[in-house]
Structure 1
Amino acid sequence: MNRVVCNPVDLAYRYQDVRMPFGGRSVHREAADPTVVHYRGRYYMFASMTRGFWHSEDLVEWELQHSDRIPATDYAPDVREVDGALLFTASRRAKGRFFRSVNPLADDFQEVASSEIAFWDPATFQDDDGRLYLYWGCSHNQPIRGVELDRESLQQIGEAVPLIEADAAVRGWERPGDDYVPVVRRGIAGKIMDAYIGDSPFIEGAYLNRVAGRYHLQYAGPGTQYNTYADGSYTGTGPLGPFEYDQNSPFSSKPGGFITGAGHGSTFQDRHGNWWHVATMRISVNADFERRIGLFPAGFDDDGVLFCNQNFADFPMSIPDRAFDPWTEASPGWMLLSYRAEATASSFLAEHEPKLATDESVRTWWVAGSREHGEWLSIDLGAVMTVHALQVNLADHKLEQHAPKLRDLAKGTVSKRGIFPHSYPTEFRVEVSVDGAEWTLVHNTADAGEDRPHAFIVPPAPHEVRYVRVTAGAMPFGGPFALSGLRVFGHADVAKPAAVTPTATRPDARTAVLAWDAVPGAVGYNIRYGIAPEKLYHSWLVYDRTELEIGSLNADPTYWAAVDSFNEAGVTPGPIVRID
C-alpha cells in the first residue's frame, strides 16, 4: 500500500453557506482546529464545521462520517479519551456541553453534562492519576485558563487559573499580519475592528500533552487568516502549572510555500509511538475562515523540546508503518517539478489565467471559461522527467452563484452559516505524455463518487513525463473547473544547485534579515532557523526571492540560520550562520 501523503490533507471538506451582514454570501469548503485521537485501534479527526468527523486506520486514507448527535456549528471541537470513552466538547458562548461515545462509528454520542463555563476553544486532558482538566480561551484581551473538572459531573473544582497571555512585544511570532507586517484595515468594518481589537493577537487553541513527567501546554496565535498562524508552547511541572514559556516557540509554523499556516491543532502519538501534529492551514480568499488541515511529523528532543519537522511541509511525506525518525525518514525525496511550468487551457476567465495553476500558491487559481464538462488544463514541464506523484488542488470559484441557499442557518459572531449535509463528487481525469500526442491515463474519478478536493495521486510505478493534462467532469454545484495547483513531484536529470551562504542581520530583537545570492538552477530556497545550531526547528520555503525578513523571533535568545537551495534534483544544505 502507498504510504505517502501531501499537505493539505485530502479530505472531503464540507461546504459552508455563510451569510455576512449587509447581504454578502460565500459558499466554500472549510475545516480547521483539528483534534486527532487514537482510540481502539483507529484514528479519529474532529474539526470545525465538519458536521461529523473523519476516521482512518493508517493516517493515509480518511473517511468522512456524518453525525447528527454532536453540535454541527460549534467551533474548535475537542476530543480526548477519558475513562475509556471519547469525551467530546466544542466552543459555545453559552454553557459548554459534553458528549461521550464508546463507538463513534455507530454515532452513539450522548450529551452527559453541561458546564457553568461558557468556554471557547476548549481542550480536555486526563492525567496519569485519572484527574481531569479543562483548558479554554480565544481572545485578544483574555488569557487561556485552566481548571480541574470532576470526572463524574464534569463540573469545575476550584477556581480557574490564568495560564497564557499574549506578549507580542517580546514574541515576534505573535504579531498579527501576513509576514508579521501590521494589518491595515479599511472601510467601516476596518474601523470597527481597529476599535475592537487594534493590533492585539488572538491567543487561542489550547492543547496539553504530558511527556516524561513534563506538561506541554500548547496555544495558537496570532490569527487564523494569516500565513503566520502558528502554535507555541509552555512547559510545566503540573497540569495547572506553573508553566514557563518555551523559547523554541513557535514549534509549529509554516509561513511559506504552496499553502501556509500551521496553528491551532493537536499533538498525538500513532500506534507505533511516533508523534504527529495536526493543524490549521489557511486559504482565506473566499472568506477568512476558508481553511484546510495539515499533518506534520513531530516529536520531543533529548531536552524535552516539542518540535515539528515542517521542512518542505507541502511536499510529499512518508507515513511509515513502524517507528521512524521524523527528521531523516519523513520524506520520500520527491521534488517539485511543476513550478512555473508553462500552462495552457481549453479556456479561462479574465484574471484567472492558466499560469496561476503552477505558481505555488493555493490562494490563486485558474478558472475555466465555462461550466461545461471537458474543460482542461495542461502543463509542460520543459523536459522529460521521472514523475512519482501528482497533486490536483481544486478551488471554489464563486460557488454562491450556483449553490442552493440553505434555510437552516446558525447565528455566529458576525454572520450566519449552514453546513451542506453531503459530500460533492469531484470528477476529473489525469493523463501524462512524453510528446504531447500520445497520452496515458493515470487517474480517473468519473463515476467514482469521490470527493477529492486535494487529490494526491501516486501511480503504481513512476512515469517518464513531460506533459500533464487534467480534464474536468462534474464539479460541485455545477461550478466551473478551477485549479489552484496542479503540482508534479519526482526527479529530473539535472545537477543539484550550489550551496548558499547568507548574510544574517538582526535589525531589532524580534526580526532577522537573511540575504543571499541567487544560485543558477535553483527552483527555490528553504530557510531553517532556531535558537541553537542543532535546533533549527523553524523553516520558511520561498520562491523567486533572495532576501527574507523573519519577524517571528523571541527577543531574548540568539538565533542561527541556514539557507538550503533546491531544484528538481534535490536539496543542497547551506552552512549554518549566526544571526547578529
Structure 2
Amino acid sequence: MTRVVCNPLDLAYRYQDVRTPFAGRSVHREAADPTVVFYRDRYYLFASMTRGFWYSDDLVEWTLRPSEKIPAVDYAPDVREVDGALLFTASRRSNGRFFRSVDPMADDFEEIAPSDIAFWDPDTFQDDDGRLYLYWGCSHKEPIQGVELDRQTYQRIGDPVPLIAADTSNRGWERTGDDYVPVVRRGLMGKVMDAYIGDAPFIEGAYVNRVDDRYYLQYAGPGTQFNTYADGTYVGDGPLGPFDYDPHSPFSSKPGGFITGAGHGSTFQDRHGNWWHVATMRVSVNADFERRIGLFPAGFDDDGVLFCNQNFADFPMNVPDRAFDPWTEASAGSMLLSYRAAATASSSLVGHAPALATDESVRTWWVAESDRPGEWLRLDLGAEADVHALQVNLADHDVAARAPKRRDLAKATFGRRAVFPDSQATGIRVELSLDGVEWSVVHDTIGAGTDAPHAFITLPEVQRARFVRVTAGEMPFGGPFTVSGLRVFGVGDVPLPGVTDVRGERRDARTASLRWDAASGAVGYNVRYGISPEKLYHSWLVYDRTDLEIGSLNAGHSYWFAVDGFNEAGVTPGIVNRLD
C-alpha cells in the first residue's frame, strides 16, 4: 500500500505567545528543529515549542501527545534511543538536563541527570560499541563541538573537541540572506543585530548517523529565517573525527517553491530500511521563528554520499509501506493545477486579495473581511483536469489581537514566550465542480474540532473538476478565514513542455548565473545541479522566470546544471551542461 503526504506536514502546530522589546507581541504557530526516532515499532517526532510530541505508525498520519514532563520552551529537542530507552535533552540558557522514557505514550519522562555542559542545539549519539557522545553548538562565532559522555552519569569524559566552523569564503550556501544576498537590517533591532552578528552565519543543529564505518556529522546554516536554510555534512572515521567536509553539501536544501528552507533536522530509517530526512521549513512573516516541518526521502549512494531528493519537495510524495527507490518512486505523479488560477472570494481584506492564495508562496495570504463562518474562496482552474489531491494552507493574520495573553511566560533569547497548550479548530469544507453550479463535497471538518493548518486531502478516486471551493467553519481564536495556499494537484489535458537547454557562467567560485529560453507550455522550472553529472542532488523550483543566480556552490569544484520544465501534465528533463 502506498500512502501520500505533502510538505509542509499537516501537524497540529502549537500557537506561541511571544513578547519582545523590539517587535511587541506575536501569536503564531511554530515547530522546528525536528528529531524523529523509530522506537518500539512507532515513530516519534519531537520539535521545538510543541509542549509534547507527535507519534505515527506510518509517517503519514501524526497525532499530538501533550506532555507536561518535558520542558515546554527549551529549543531544539534531541531524542535518541540509548540503552533501550528514549533519552531526551534540549537547549537551555544554563546547563542542560537529560530525561529518560521507556513508554513515551504514558508521558513517563523523568529527569535523570543534569549536564556539566551548557549547550545549545544538542545531539546525543550511541555508537555500536555502546559508547555515548554529545554534540552541540548554535553560534555565529563558536564551533560545533563534541565529547564523550559517561553512560551512567551523563557527564563528559575528557575535553570537548571543536568539530565544525563556518567557511563562507569557500561555501556559498553558508552565506546569510535570502537567495544568498546579504541582509540589510533597519531600525533599532537592525542595529543591535548588526553589532551582534553582522553577516556571519549561524552554524548549528548537529546530528550524527553512522553508516557502515563512516560517521556523518550533519549541521545547519546560515539562519532559520532565510529561504537558504540548509543542512550540510562532514564525514569521518570516528565519532569525534577527524571529519572532512563533503563538497556535495548542502545535502538538504529547498530555496524555491511554495514553502522554502530545509535545515536543522535529523536523518533516520523507517521500519523498511528507507532513509528519510526531516527538517525545518520557514514562514518567518509574523516572526523569524514562525516555522513548519518538512519530510524528504533521503539515502546514501554507492559512494557513501548522503543526499535528499528535494525535487518538487512541496508536491505530493509517496510514503510506500515497503523498501523503495527515493529517486524513482517518491513522486506521487501529481502536478500543480492551481498556480495563478483565477480566484474569487466571498469578501477580502484590503491588501489580501484572493490571488494571494494561488501565487505559490506560504508567506502571502488571502484574508476574508469578516470572521463569520461561511466565508469562502473559489478557484477556476481554467479547464477541466483530473484532480488527485488538494492542500489547504491556513495562515495566521493578526492573531495577537484575538488570542488571550498567556501568564506562564518564560525567558527566551529575546524577550519572553509561552506555548498555548490546546489545539485550535480549523473547520473547512472543500468542494469540486465541473461547471461551477453543481458541487460535490470531498472534505468536511466543520464542527469536528480538527486542528489541521495544512490540511492535505487525497481523493480516494481521481475526480474530474474545473472549479474548487473551500468554505470556512470555526477558525483559531475566532479569527477570519486566511489562506496562504489553496493548492490543487492532479494531471491536466495539456502537452508536456519542451526541452530546456541551460547556459550561463560561473560568476565567481561560489556563484553561477544561469539563463534559459522559455520552454513551450511550461508553468515553471526545476533547476537541478551538483558536482557531477550523475549527482544533481540539489534543486531550486522557480516560476515566472528564465534565469537564476545560484550562490550556494562550493569553491574548487566544477558544477553541472539542468533545467526541467513542468506544467499540469508533467516534467520534461532538461539538457545537462557543465559551467566552470
Give your verdict on TM over 0.5: yes
Superposed CA deviations along residues 228-263 of structure 1, whole A, max 9, x for unmatched, are: 000000000000000000000000000000000000
Is 1:313 matched up with 2:277?
A: no
**CA apart distance, 1:267:** 0.1
SS state at 2:193 partner: helix
- Matched residue, 2:160: 160
Separation of aligned partners in 1, 2:152 and 2:303: 37
Is 1:529 matched up with 2:520?
A: no
Separation of aligned partners in 2, 1:103 and 1:445: 32
Contact persistence 1:504–1:578 (CA under 8 A): no
Instruction: Please identify runs of 4+ aligned residues in structure 1 that moved more than 3 A.
Output: none
- Matched residue, 1:304: 304
Contact persistence 2:2–2:320 (CA under 8 A): no
Separation of aligned partners in 1, 2:212 and 2:291: 34
Separation of aligned partners in 1, 2:92 and 2:552: 31
Report the residue type matching 1:191 in the other structure.
Answer: K
Contact persistence 2:125–2:133 (CA under 8 A): yes
- Matched residue, 2:265: 265
Q: Which moved more, 1:151-160 or 1:442-451?
A: 442-451
- Matched residue, 1:426: 426
**CA apart distance, 1:504:** 2.6
Separation of aligned partners in 2, 1:481 and 1:277: 32
Separation of aligned partners in 2, 1:419 and 1:471: 29
Superposed CA deviations along residues 295-340 of structure 1, whole A, max 9, x for unmatched, are: 0000000000000000000000000000000000001110000000
- Matched residue, 1:466: 466
SS state at 2:461 partner: coil
- Matched residue, 2:113: 113
Contact persistence 2:435–2:466 (CA under 8 A): yes
- Matched residue, 1:100: 100
Aligned positions of 1:180-329 closer than 5 A: 180-329=180-329
Report the residue type matching 2:303 in the other structure.
Answer: D
Superposed CA deviations along residues 422-463 of structure 1, whole A, max 9, x for unmatched, are: 011100100000000000000000122210000000111111
- Matched residue, 1:81: 81
Separation of aligned partners in 2, 1:579 and 1:105: 53
| TM-score calculated relative to the size of structure 2 | 0.99
**CA apart distance, 1:123:** 0.1
**CA apart distance, 1:520:** 2.4
Superposed CA deviations along residues 162-208 of structure 1, whole A, max 9, x for unmatched, are: 00000011100000000000000111211111111111000000000
Separation of aligned partners in 1, 2:22 and 2:352: 27
Separation of aligned partners in 2, 1:492 and 1:23: 45
SS state at 2:194 partner: helix
Is 1:516 matched up with 2:516?
A: yes
SS state at 1:461 partner: strand
SS state at 1:460 partner: strand
Separation of aligned partners in 2, 1:418 and 1:556: 46
Separation of aligned partners in 1, 2:51 and 2:64: 9
**CA apart distance, 1:106:** 0.1
- Matched residue, 1:151: 151
**CA apart distance, 1:2:** 6.1
Q: Which moved more, 1:173-182 or 1:186-195?
A: 186-195
Separation of aligned partners in 1, 2:521 and 2:65: 46
Contact persistence 1:204–1:219 (CA under 8 A): yes
Contact persistence 2:16–2:420 (CA under 8 A): yes
Contact persistence 2:447–2:473 (CA under 8 A): no
Separation of aligned partners in 2, 1:169 and 1:186: 26
**CA apart distance, 1:23:** 6.8
Separation of aligned partners in 2, 1:522 and 1:22: 44
Separation of aligned partners in 1, 2:420 and 2:93: 23
Superposed CA deviations along residues 58-95 of structure 1, whole A, max 9, x for unmatched, are: 00000000000000000000000000000000001211
Separation of aligned partners in 2, 1:22 and 1:442: 45
Separation of aligned partners in 2, 1:404 and 1:513: 49
**CA apart distance, 1:421:** 0.5
SS state at 1:240 partner: coil
Aligned positions of 1:383-422 closer than 5 A: 383-422=383-422
SS state at 2:404 partner: coil
Separation of aligned partners in 2, 1:501 and 1:2: 35
Report the residue type matching 1:259 in the other structure.
Answer: I
Percentage of identical aligned residues: 76
- Matched residue, 1:332: 332
Q: Which moved more, 1:241-250 or 1:181-190?
A: 181-190
Separation of aligned partners in 1, 2:12 and 2:546: 37
Q: 1:22 to 1:518 in 2, by over 3 A?
A: closer
Separation of aligned partners in 2, 1:141 and 1:256: 28
**CA apart distance, 1:535:** 0.5
Q: 1:23 to 1:539 in 2, by over 3 A?
A: closer
Contact persistence 2:22–2:189 (CA under 8 A): no
Contact persistence 1:2–1:458 (CA under 8 A): no
Report the residue type matching 1:127 in the other structure.
Answer: D
Runs of 5+ in structure 2 lacking a partner? Answer: none
- Matched residue, 2:551: 551
Is 1:21 matched up with 2:15?
A: no
Q: 1:351 to 1:440 in 2, by over 3 A?
A: same
Contact persistence 2:334–2:388 (CA under 8 A): yes
Superposed CA deviations along residues 463-489 of structure 1, whole A, max 9, x for unmatched, are: 100000000001010011000000000
Is 1:367 matched up with 2:403?
A: no
Contact persistence 1:504–1:577 (CA under 8 A): no
Separation of aligned partners in 2, 1:134 and 1:265: 16
Report the residue type matching 1:575 in the other structure.
Answer: I
Separation of aligned partners in 1, 2:269 and 2:260: 24
Report the residue type matching 1:389 in the other structure.
Answer: A
Superposed CA deviations along residues 379-421 of structure 1, whole A, max 9, x for unmatched, are: 0000000000000000000000111000110011112101000
Report the residue type matching 2:421 in the other structure.
Answer: P
Separation of aligned partners in 2, 1:78 and 1:496: 45
Q: 1:447 to 1:501 in 2, by over 3 A?
A: same
Is 1:40 matched up with 2:46?
A: no
**CA apart distance, 1:22:** 4.9
Separation of aligned partners in 2, 1:182 and 1:268: 33
Separation of aligned partners in 1, 2:175 and 2:290: 21
Runs of 5+ in structure 1 lacking a partner? Answer: none
Separation of aligned partners in 2, 1:62 and 1:2: 16
Contact persistence 2:2–2:319 (CA under 8 A): no
